[in-house]
Amino acid sequence: MKKFNIKADVAGQIRLFKSNMFKDKLAFIEEAIQNSQRAGATEIEVWFKDDTLIMQDNGPGLKSIADLFTIGKSGWKEEVDKENPFGLGFFSCTAMGDMVLVESNNFSIEFNIANIISTGKAAVKYFDDREPVPGFRVKVTDLDGISSYDVRKRLIAVTEYNNVKTIYNNEEIPKRNIEDTDGSKFARVVTRQLTNGKITGWLKPYVYADDGMPHTKLFAHGRFISDYQKYGLQGRLEIEDELLDLQAPDRKSIIYNPKYTTFRDDMSTIGREIMTDLIISGSDKDLDYYDQAITEFIDPGDMLKYIRFLVVEDEGRLDKAVDNLVLDRPIDTTADKKIFNLPEVEPQLYLNKTATGVPLPSVKSYESAEEKTGELLSDGIDVIYYVKKDNLLEQADRARQLVNTGAKVVILRNNVEAKAIKAITGAFDVSTLEQTTRLSARVANAGPADIFEERALRILALVGNMFSRKNIFIIGDVSSDEERLIGTVSIFKKKKEVFAIYDAEAKRILVNRVLLEKANLIDTGNKLTWLDRSFIARNINTISHELAHAVYNTKDMELEHYERQLEIQDKILAKIF
């Protein structure tokens, strides 16, 4: 037995590791496998029982005992001839247990982590005359709070993509190809040269409702290094060394520097391609499910390039849409939009399963579609109306009235279409449009035609003067139209005969001589007769109604208009009686 004195700074670092740096107790498993991989090992065996973990590889092992305690930056590139395969990561075992035995070639080293920390004595025992142990073997005991399940789960996560055979408690850990997806419908294989390096793996749309891993997991040389957190994307990627810089000591945290910014921008570009693929090839149910992920990468205005809307221009197509979309009669809304002939992949359990990956299409366009329906819309169109599928039955009558006037009505089948159409300036929601009735009138041959009309006009002028509206009444040949509108679209128009109507543009009340009951009117100057009063009383409702428009600028069907009409009516009757 011999003694080997650890340098004081190394002992101090061990104390620091134990308390802070490697808070993840299982980090040593990753570090040990990484070290073995760097050293050129092709096989690692792991045993765990009770409170003891043993790991052994078939690599070249230690050349010198000093290598084990050389704490420095070992990096994470697979360049064995340029780096020490042990070093900093090895001491993550201090977070896992208190007793460590290392055996490699003819070396056998024992050290008591708890003793080093508690006494400050920086010495370990080692032997160089024992039976040689091939490769590198480490035994950690006095483990705290670690289960066999935890160890196996971490081994799978760490080794499933590398090229080192891994055996746990005599059972080989299965390997996977980084391009093997989880089998979900929109998982796409991605092999891409980015700005600073290459990525290989797979990605898929993601929403918080999905089970499984929450983010995209990044690997280098088959070793998991970090999560890439971007809402809307999920997957696994193997990245080249130059793509990102990682924090020491465990090299599992990304450094947010210009490299990361460039990587993030490149990933956003790929995300937009995946979401574009989803918009074009997904069903309405898919688009409803992933709409938040889609809008994370694509602005509503840009979505218009890839959506073919269901546009109806006649009652027949509208009725068919109601039958298909609302009344649950069969319709295939996916076949109309599919363009890439993408195979449907049944979901599978992720662990130890292989799902054939679907490459991310390089071109997103409807031009290659064998069969396509719908209409591409842009912000340049004049006016278009839309109604959501969920509101279609309720708004069917309005939509029918609109298409009967020649207007186009878009039926929105999913949330993505609903977001995209709002980018069109001239698009209006049918359910929010105000339905109004508008009266318009014209007068010809204005002015009294006989003495009876002269008397009627004089009587009306007296009424107008009560409200400081001199000469507001005009008698003539009045023609008027009643028009009903939804928003600004005229859906109904007909001729309508009225006794009087207010012309807001001319600021005059037009009195129709055809409906003027004037036979009993006699000119008696400014003195009102009972015949004059009878004439006013017979027409009081129409006179007060139109005066309310003229005096108070009120609108039909409003409470204020009704109140002002009664107010005017009471004032007139009070004056003449």
DSSP string, 527-546: PPPHHHHHHHHHTHHHHHHH
**pLDDT reported for residue 83:** 36
| Mean pLDDT along residues 62-78 | 56
Distances (CA, A) of 269 to 33, 204, 219, 235, 266: 34, 14, 20, 15, 5
**pLDDT reported for residue 412:** 94
> Pick the residue with more confidence: 119 or 123?
119
Token representation of residue 282: 């997904």
Token representation of residue 378: 């842009």
Q: How do residues 555-574 score in pLDDT, each as one tens digit?
A: 888 899 999 999 999 999 99
Q: How do residues 220-246 score in pLDDT, each as one tens digit?
A: 888 888 889 888 999 999 999 889 988
At residue 330, does pLDDT exceed 70? no
**CB–CB of 91/13 below 8 Å?**
yes
Q: How do residues 178-232 score in pLDDT, each as one tens digit?
A: 999 988 899 999 999 999 999 999 999 988 755 555 689 998 888 888 889 888 9
At residue 346, does pLDDT exceed 50? no
- Alpha helical stretches, state H, 298-335: 300-303, 315-321
Q: What letter would DSSP give residue 113?
A: H
On the question of a cis peptide bond just before residue 249, with omega within 30 degrees of 0, the verdict is yes
Please name the helix (run of DSSP H) or strand (run of DSSP E) that holds residue 571, with its range, or none. Answer: helix 559-576
Residue 327 one-letter amino acid: L
| Distance spanning both ends of the chain, measured CA to CA | 131
Identify the band that residue 312 occupies on the pLDDT scale cut at 50, 70 and 90.
Answer: very high
**pLDDT reported for residue 102:** 87
**pLDDT reported for residue 1:** 59
Residue 22 burial (C-beta neighbours within 10 Å; 0-12, 13-18, 19+): buried
CA distance 62 to 126: 13
> Pick the residue with more confidence: 272 or 157?
272
**CB–CB of 230/267 below 8 Å?**
yes
Give the chain's domains with CATH numbers: 2-172 (3.30.565.10), 188-281 (3.30.230.10), 299-337+372-432 (3.40.50), 436-576 (no CATH)
> Pick the residue with more confidence: 382 or 541?
541
> Pick the residue with more confidence: 346 or 15?
15
Q: How do residues 434-450 score in pLDDT, each as one tens digit?
A: 877 788 889 999 999 99
Collapsed DSSP state (helix, strand, coil) of residue 490 = strand
Q: How do residues 249-267 score in pLDDT, each as one tens digit?
A: 666 778 999 999 999 999 9
Q: Which stretch of 15-29, 147-161, 494-508 has the lowest confidence by average pLDDT?
A: 15-29
Which has the closest alpha carbon to 570: 467, 498, 474, 499? 467
DSSP string, 178-200: TT-B---TT-EEEEEE-SSSEEE
- Alpha helical stretches, state H, 282-406: 284-297, 300-303, 315-321, 392-403
R_g of the chain computed on alpha carbons: 42
Q: What letter would DSSP give residue 512?
A: E
- pTM over the 0.75 mark: no
CA distance 437 to 398: 14
Mean pLDDT across the chain: 81
% pLDDT > 90, the chain: 42
**pLDDT reported for residue 11:** 62
At residue 353, does pLDDT exceed 50? no
Q: Which of 398-412, 482-496, 512-526 has the highest mean pLDDT?
A: 398-412
**pLDDT reported for residue 157:** 83
% pLDDT > 70, the chain: 78
Strand partners, 72: none
Please name the helix (run of DSSP H) or strand (run of DSSP E) that holds residue 273, with its range, or none. Answer: helix 258-281
Phi-psi region of 557 (alpha: psi -120 to 50; beta: other; left: phi over 0): left
CA distance 306 to 301: 10
356 CB-near residues (< 8 Å, 6+ apart): 181, 345
Which has the closest alpha carbon to 105: 58, 152, 142? 58
| Mean pLDDT along residues 132-141 | 88
At residue 325, does pLDDT exceed 50? yes
Q: How do residues 374-406 score in pLDDT, each as one tens digit?
A: 788 877 777 889 999 999 999 999 899 888 888
| Mean pLDDT along residues 119-129 | 66
